[in-house]
Chain A
Amino acid sequence: MGGVTLPYWEKVFLDFNDGFWNADRSNMSSASAFIGYADLQLGKTAALLKFAGATANTLKVAGRLGTGLGVAGIGLTIIEDYRNDDLGAGTIAKLAISGLSMAFPVFGVIYGVADIAWGLYTGTTITDSIAAGVQNAYNKNK
């Protein structure tokens, strides 16, 4: 008996969903996870410095360091995928998320907090879950 054939995009979504919720646990001690955390802390430090009335130059240095860590973190995430033989559609998803975080800093900060909080709570960061979902959808529908 033939089963029900799902529309293509519905199947892609279901495979994404399957990969998302069954993603491997994130390596929270990896360099990129640490950099993401450090970047967030630096953002908070910059806000605190502003509150404490720090000089424009100090704020500028904290801001530049934070942006630098964020940008350098993008590269580090991809290199980690390479070193772990994990390159694939999920890597491109991670790149896209990092790009969005850089282009829209407010989104980046909110997403960064949510990503790490979710990662600490469930064991897998949102980014890793999305990457696993994209990879699963790609593998099953290519």
Chain B
Amino acid sequence: MKVFFEYFYYRIAKLNFKKNYERAIISVTLVQHFILVNLYIFLVDGPLEIRGKLSTIEIIIYFATFFGLDFYNYKIYKDRFDEFEEKWGHESRYKKRIGIIKVFLFIIFSLSLIFINGWIYDRYI
């Protein structure tokens, strides 16, 4: 998984035309955090049927884990773009296309987890 997230970071950074690699780091954080949140919903929030407004504690934990994870990702990915460019910069067109599809599908997967949880725990309108 570590290599996949490195590749994820590299591909998003490559897409970013302004060479702002921080946005790539935050993209990694977003998908990772969303998976964690959905895991929490699946294991705790859903079975206990917690409904209604988010409590202050939940919001604090939400942001603490988000920024904690982002800080961690920033530490491990900062200034490593060139290293990844050397590793994956010369991929064949086929491999590159498959890689981009994998990254794209992973984003869709992480964002759609909440809809799967919603279906399991009947949270649709």
Which positions in A face B, CB cutoff 8 Å? 30-31, 64, 67-68, 71-72, 74-76, 78-80, 82-88, 90-91, 95, 135, 139
Query: Chain B: which residue is nearest A76 at the CB level?
Result: B62
Evaluate contact between A79 and B30: CB separation under 8 angstroms. Answer: no
Shortest A134–chain B CB gap in Å is: 12
Q: Which of B79-87, B95-103, B115-123 contacts A (4 or more CB under 8 A)?
A: B115-123
Q: Offer 29 A-B interface pairs, CB within 8 angstroms, sorted by A.
A: A30-B53, A31-B53, A67-B23, A67-B26, A68-B67, A71-B26, A71-B66, A72-B33, A72-B66, A75-B33, A76-B54, A78-B111, A78-B114, A79-B37, A80-B53, A80-B54, A82-B114, A82-B118, A82-B123, A83-B51, A83-B52, A83-B53, A85-B51, A85-B125, A86-B125, A87-B115, A87-B123, A88-B124, A139-B125
Give bound CA distance, A135 to B125, whole Å.
Answer: 9
Residues of A within 8 A of B67 (CB): 68, 72
Residues of A within 8 A of B62 (CB): 72, 75-76, 79
Quick one: which of B30, B37, B111 contacts A71, CB cutoff 8 A?
B30
Shortest B100–chain A CB gap in Å is: 16
Query: Chain A: which residue is nearest B59 at the CB level?
Result: A31
Evaluate contact between A68 and B114: CB separation under 8 angstroms. Answer: no
Encode contact with A along B25-55: 1 for CB under 8 Å, 0 otherwise. Answer: 0100110011001000100010000111110
For chain B, the bracket of interface size reads 20 to 34
Shortest A128–chain B CB gap in Å is: 13
Evaluate contact between A75 and B34: CB separation under 8 angstroms. Answer: yes
Residues of A within 8 A of B111 (CB): 78, 95
Query: Chain A: which residue is nearest B70 at the CB level?
Result: A68
Residues of A within 8 A of B125 (CB): 85-88, 90, 135, 139
Evaluate contact between B50 and A83: CB separation under 8 angstroms. Answer: yes
Residues of B within 8 A of A86 (CB): 123, 125
Give bound CA distance, A135 to B52, whole Å.
Answer: 20
Shortest A85–chain B CB gap in Å is: 5
Shortest A106–chain B CB gap in Å is: 12
Residue B106 CB within 8 A of the other chain: no
Evaluate contact between A87 and B114: CB separation under 8 angstroms. Answer: yes
Residues of B within 8 A of A78 (CB): 111, 114
Give bound CA distance, A31 to B67, whole Å.
Answer: 16
Residue B63 CB within 8 A of the other chain: yes
Residue B22 CB within 8 A of the other chain: yes
Shortest A88–chain B CB gap in Å is: 4
Evaluate contact between B54 and A71: CB separation under 8 angstroms. Answer: no
Give bound CA distance, A67 to B18, whole Å.
Answer: 15
